[in-house]
Amino acid sequence: MKKLSLLLAFAIVMTFVLSGCSPSAQDIEDAYSVFGGANAFGSELKNPGTTKTFAIGGTPTGDYRDAAINACNKLNGVSTKVNISYNTNNTTGDWRMRTSTSGDIASNTKGVEYNTSALGNYYVVSSDIVIVSTYCDALTANQKKYIALHEMGHTVGLKDLYNPGLSSSNNKQKAYDYILDNKLTVMLSAYFSKKTEIHALTDYSEYDKRSIKDVFGA
């Protein structure tokens, strides 16, 4: 009887723990209403229509090249309105991903042009993604993929999600904390600022994909 009671107690505890780890549909909706959709984007959007081919020849190599290819493929698969390709031979161009030994983790330098039909009236017309090998060499292959996904997200206009720094009872803060705790997006800046907590997502989350589709179309 004592053994049965212990097993029952363990089962109850595990049920509670597991249920607490699973994002609820309503919590996700609440978070999405605050930070998802158009709210996930900055003031510019990638110019839709023609395919953007990223040059990934030269550097990156190894894990970095795998991360670059993965980011191109994953973003290209989100929406028929977002067309991303890559070329492993080209080393220069308006659209490229490369590695460098200077800088802090990674960056995405974008060129924009004015267009009244774009979000915030600006289109992204070029994107130079740099992943800093001096720091990132120590990361796992999947963590490198996360960084490439994050930076590629900026290419279509997704912005960093920062901690609003409000009261814990504030609805906006609750939404952010929920997204952070459940790792609902690759655009969380916390994984870069804390550095040791870079997450190993290897694809855009359903939350990210929904934002892109809501803005660009399926």
pLDDT in tens, 163-194: 999 999 999 999 999 998 888 899 998 776 66
pLDDT band at 28 (very low <50, low <70, confident <90, very high): confident
What sign does the CA torsion over 52, 154, 217, 143 have? positive
Name the DSSP letter for residue 157: T
Neighbours of 65 (CB within 10 A): 20
Homologous superfamily (CATH) for 25-213: Collagenase (Catalytic Domain) (3.40.390.10)
Torsions phi, psi of 23, nearest 5? Answer: -60, 130
Give the pair of three-digit tokens for residue 47: 């110019």
How far, in Å, CA of 81 to CA of 111, rounded?
20
The predicted-structure confidence for 153-163, as pLDDT tens digits, reads as follows 999 999 999 99
Name the DSSP letter for residue 92: -
How far, in Å, CA of 42 to CA of 77, rounded?
21
